[in-house]
Amino acid sequence: MQTSTGHKPIRTAVFPVAGLGTRFLPATKAIPKEMLPIVDRPLIQYAVDEAREAGIEQMIFVTGRGKSAIEDHFDIAFELEKTMSERGKSLAVLEPTRLGPGNCAYVRQQEPLGLGHAIWCARSIVGDEPFAIFLPDEFMHAHPGGDGCMKQMVEAYNEVGGNLLSVLEVPREQVSSYGVIDPGAEVSGGQGTLTEVRGLVEKPRVDQAPSNKIISGRYILQPEVMRVLERQEKGAGGEIQLTDAMAQMIGTQPFHAVTFNGRRFDCGSKLGFVEATLALALEREDMGADVRAMAQRLLQ
In the complex with ligand G1P, the residue whose CB is nearer, 106 or 178, is 178
The Cα 86–Cα 239 span in angstroms is 51
CB of 218 to ligand G1P, least distance (A): 9
Is 21 an interacting residue with respect to ligand G1P (CB under 6 A)?
Answer: no
Q: Which of 245, 214, 116, 219 is nearest to 165 (CA)?
A: 219
Q: Rounded distance, CA 219 to CA 242, Å?
A: 10
Q: Cα dist. 212→123, 209, 285 in Å?
A: 31, 7, 36
Which position among 104, 201, 214, 247 is part of the footprint of ligand G1P (CB under 6 A)? 214
Burial status of residue 59 (CB atoms within 10 A of its CB: 0-12, 13-18, 19 or more): buried
- 19 closest CA partner among 39, 36, 2: 36
| Site membership for ligand G1P, residue 247 (CB under 6 A) | no
Residue 138 interacts with ligand G1P (CB under 6 A)? yes
3-class DSSP state for residue 24? helix
- Closest separation between CB of residue 15 and ligand G1P, Å? 13
User: Any contact of residue 244 with ligand G1P (CB under 6 A)?
Assistant: no
Would you say 51 or 281 has its CB closer to ligand G1P? 51
Nearest approach, Cβ of 290 to ligand G1P (angstroms)?
Answer: 32
Is 43 a binding residue for ligand G1P by CB under 6 A? The answer is: no
Q: Which is nearer to ligand G1P, 63 or 216 (CB)?
A: 216
Does a cis peptide bond (omega within 30 degrees of 0) precede residue 37? no
Query: Residue 63 interacts with ligand G1P (CB under 6 A)?
Result: no
Which one of 243, 256, 260, 265 is in contact with ligand G1P (CB under 6 A)?
243
Count of residues near ligand G1P by CB under 6 A: 14
Min CB(241)–ligand G1P separation in Å: 6
- Should residue 175 be labelled a site residue for ligand G1P when binding is judged by CB under 6 A? no
160: Cβ–Cβ under 8 A, 6 or more apart, which residues?
Answer: 187, 189, 194, 254, 256
Query: Which residues from 68-127 bind ligand G1P, rule CB under 6 A?
Result: 115
Positions 265 through 284 that interact with ligand G1P (CB under 6 A): 268
* Helix H or strand E segment including 38: strand 37-38
Rounded to whole angstroms, the Cα distance separating 249 from 203 reads 18
Task: Note whether 202 binds ligand G1P by CB under 6 A.
Answer: yes
Backbone angles phi, psi at 286, to 5 degrees: -80, -10
* Contacts with ligand G1P, residue ranges (CB under 6 A): 115, 135, 138, 178-179, 202, 214-217, 241-243, 268
